[in-house]
């Protein structure tokens, strides 16, 4: 049993004040509570520990200067629609839905463990990924707001410079903001995008918060999808044909339905 009393290795996300970040949502059938939780399986936990150590070592550069750019050179199409970023070809044999938040420690660990393997499958045309990068944990930065700010910037990159979206996402996870920190500002996000070669419209969208309303709607839809599949909203969550994949199993990427 872990410190939160759960036996499944997963914990409910709480802010520094100890208040539950997940909130009750109203559905057409009445009150339906869903809670945001984070995967804490041992294999991801090890990656989280490594990420925290690296993050602390580079904290001054991250918060006070620029976000270091990490280059990814995709050989697959990327497109954005309705708050979801889809990477990979239409003819790919497998499709997964990945639900994540840029400040989520488990999502950072997942990225460090599996980003290269996912990239390889995308490049080979064997996999298509639907990224739901949304503000599930918007209250976890101090002050609140980084999750929404970061997800809106990532979506703007996918809209205007889709081939640069993988690099933008990888950069934000490589130097991930930790819970309880203020998070990157709009100008830091704009600077990263520009150094990665973003279209000039990207900066305007970030500064104006163009995509935030759409992403709020997408967040509600994504929460319902994950809750339906798993019984609660947990991060990161990977679904294949509506079925949750066990990412604690190193073979999970090969278990997606064809």
pLDDT of residue 250: 84
pLDDT of residue 217: 97
pLDDT of residue 256: 63
User: How many other CB atoms sit within 10 Å of the CB of residue 191?
Assistant: 17
Q: Is residue 255 part of a domain?
A: no
Q: Is residue 76 part of a domain?
A: yes
pLDDT of residue 207: 98
Q: Mean pLDDT per 10-residue run, the chain (258 residues)? A: 36 33 35 38 43 44 72 97 98 96 97 96 97 97 97 98 98 96 97 96 98 98 96 94 91 72
Q: Which residues fall within 8 angstroms of residue 35, CB to CB, at 6 or more apart?
A: 12, 13, 20, 22, 232, 233
> What is the value of pTM for the model shown?
0.79
pLDDT of residue 254: 79
Instruction: Specify the CATH number for the domain of residue 177.
Output: 3.40.30.10
pLDDT of residue 241: 93
Backbone dihedral angles phi then psi of residue 217, each to the nearest 5 degrees: -65, -40
Domain extent, residue 193, equals 10-249
pLDDT of residue 251: 87
83 and 218 Cβ atoms separated by less than 8 Å: yes
Q: Is residue 166 part of a domain?
A: yes
239 and 226 Cβ atoms separated by less than 8 Å: yes
Backbone dihedral angles phi then psi of residue 31, each to the nearest 5 degrees: -75, 125
């Amino acid at each position: 049993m872990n410190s939160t009393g759960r036996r499944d290795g997963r914990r409910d996300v709480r802010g520094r004040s100890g208040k539950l970040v997940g909130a009750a949502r109203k559905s057409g059938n009445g009150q339906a509570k869903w809670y945001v939780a984070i995967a804490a399986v041992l294999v991801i936990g090890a990656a989280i520990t490594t990420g925290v150590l690296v993050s602390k070592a580079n904290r001054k550069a991250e918060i006070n200067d620029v976000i270091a750019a990490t280059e990814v050179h995709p050989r697959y199409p990327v497109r954005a629609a309705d708050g979801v970023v889809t990477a990979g070809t239409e003819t790919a044999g497998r499709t997964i839905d990945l639900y994540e938040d840029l400040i989520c420690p488990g999502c950072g660990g997942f990225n460090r463990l599996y980003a290269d393997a996912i990239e390889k499958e995308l490049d080979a045309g064997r996999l298509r990924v639907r990224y739901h990068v949304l503000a599930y944990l918007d209250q976890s930065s101090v002050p609140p707001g980084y999750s929404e700010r970061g997800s809106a910037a990532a979506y703007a990159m996918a809209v205007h410079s889709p081939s640069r979206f993988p690099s933008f996402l990888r950069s934000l996870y490589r130097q991930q903001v930790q819970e309880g920190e203020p998070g990157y500002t709009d100008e830091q996000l704009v600077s990263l995008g520009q150094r990665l070669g973003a279209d000039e419209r990207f900066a305007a969208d970030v500064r104006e918060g163009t995509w935030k309303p759409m992403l709020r709607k997408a967040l509600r839809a994504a929460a319902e999808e994950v809750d339906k599949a798993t019984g609660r909203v947990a991060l990161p969550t990977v679904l294949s044909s509506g079925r949750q994949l066990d990412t604690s199993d190193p073979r999970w990427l090969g278990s997606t339905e064809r």
